[in-house]
Structure 1
Amino acid sequence: MTPIQNQRVLGVIPARLASTRLSRKVLREIAGQPMLGWVYHAARACPLLDQVLIATDSEEVLEFAQRYSLPAIFTPADCASGSDRVHAVAQSIAADIYVNIQGDEPLLRPEHLDALLAPMSDPAVQVATLATDCTPANIANPNAVKVVTSASGRALYFSRSTIPYDRDHAGSIPYRKHLGIYAYRREALQRFPSLPPSALEATEKLEQLRFLENDIDVHVSYTPFDTIGVDTEEDLQAVEALLLSRRS
């Protein structure tokens, strides 16, 4: 019996080929396999997902998926975020819970998805995401998004800034780094594109703030497994070294 018994769970990997910082990154080869292949096979290894598919606006990504027999669906080019692309998939493929799995997270593990979906056993949880320990080097790094939560795990805020601010330099608060993987109930996902534009979302460039600013709680689960979202050549090289070390 799973904690989400009798609910259909669909994993969606938004895969946009046009990346500003690292060109064509989802098809870049890492340790002998395109990045998108690593993400798909890790997601498919999670037994809680009934189906996993790639959502793209690129003919080249679609051809890659077809060549390797990976299920894929074509989505509009004007999807502004991963959540919008998952929403586009939801218009034609029904599920109770949709999981947004970033296509640039080749260090994804099935354990990430287990932790993500655990709170969805509570019908009151509409959106869930993940956080892990934030290393000292990333506390002030704007590319590492920080999150603070209530005692029950409800997100209070996500920011690229250093939150919370340690005024007295006590060092007693553990910083948490957000991992951009989400689970949404169908109703919450269907609302997402119709929600009023969020000033916080636009300022921080963080789509999850649209939920918070519109009074939809986001539950944050902890995972001990960090990832490296690939945005640069340096990220790609670091990920390749880690994946190769897993084989040895």
Structure 2
Amino acid sequence: MSSQPLKIIAMIPARYAATRFPGKLMQDLHGKSVILRTYEAARETNLFDKVYVVTDSDIIFEEITNNGGKVIMSRKEHECGSDRIAEAVEDMDVDVVVNVQGDEPMIDTESLRLLLDVFRGKDADLIDLASLKTPLRENKDITNPNNVKVITNKENFALYFSRSPIPYPRDEESGVTWFKHVGIYAFRKQALMDFYRLPMLKLEATEKIECIRYLEYGKNIKMVETTVKGVGIDTPEDLEEARKILSGEKE
């Protein structure tokens, strides 16, 4: 491993036209937009050399620039956030790129720190990207296809991701813990650029889970356990929940 310090940046992909909740990133969250709160929260972790929003929206571009932030306008249409980030970082001199979800303004600094620590650990040279997982306790959460499940080997490298319950509970007394994949990624730049240039294969297309592409092409994904469940804003109800949480923090 190199003794040089890693150059680590955060990228926040931000589309305005979200399918389930259009314009959600510009909704008011205690006096600031959701995307601005997310940007400021990422910057305040002090874990990154730089933080950028990358967007296809003039509205979001102006929101970040008007508040003194760094923002990049996408030049192309993109299928997913990883592609949007890859285009933005292609000519940057960076080692690790963290994808921070634009609709999750309650960033947990400790989980991010644990995620980045693996790139300085004993098997760092084997890691192409790292991501988070959190235990699922309720059967309704385990069987919910909106919760992507992940299984790992004994070294916590991902074996597979699925919307189905994996492993299947043939033996309900085995004592296994099911894990939900939390969609925050830390990529080595080369792995991200490979993803951008490689075509989607059948497993990814079937499950509609983009990180399966890395596994299909032989990349190593290190999973890091966290007990923190982020507050993703996918619906107006989620936005109300986030407002309540922020109100509680301010009391």
Correspondence 1:210 to 2:209: no
- The answer to whether the aligner puts 1:124 opposite 2:123 as a matched pair is no
Equivalent residue in structure 2 for 1:180, among 177, 180, 183: 183
SS in 2 for 1:216: coil
- Residues 2-58 of structure 1: CA distance to partner in whole angstroms, max 9, x if unpaired? x98511111000001111100111111123321112211221122221000100010
Q: Which amino acid aligns with 1:69?
A: G
1:145 pairs with 2:144: no
Preserved CA contact (<8 Å) 2:161 2:212: yes
Cα distance in 2 for residues equivalent to 1:218 and 1:230: 26
Q: Normalising by structure 1, report the TM-score.
A: 0.93
**Alignment identity in percent?**
37
Within-5 A mapping of 1:63-212: 63-121=62-120, 122-136=124-138, 137-170=140-173, 172-212=175-215
8 Å contact from structure 2 (residues 126, 220) kept in 1? no
**Structure 1 residues 32-41 or 202-211, which shifts more?**
32-41
Asked if the contact 2:16/2:57 (under 8 Å) is kept, the reply is yes
SS in 2 for 1:52: strand
Aligned residues: 246
Equivalent pair of 2:36/2:63 in contact (CA under 8 Å): no
Shift of 1:172: 1.6
Q: Distance between the aligned counterparts of 2:211 and 2:45, measured in 1? A: 24
- Where does the alignment leave 5 or more consecutive residues of structure 1 unmatched? none
- Kept in 2: contact 1:133–1:226 (CA 8 A): no
Summarize deviations over 1:55-74 as a string: whole Å, max 9, x none.
00100100101111111010
RMSD: 1.7
* Mapped partners of 1:31, 1:198: distance in 2: 42
Find the residue that maps to 1:10 and give its secondary structure: strand
Structure 1 residues 157-202: Cα deviation after superposition (integer angstroms, max 9, x where no partner): 1111111211232272111111111111111111112223221111
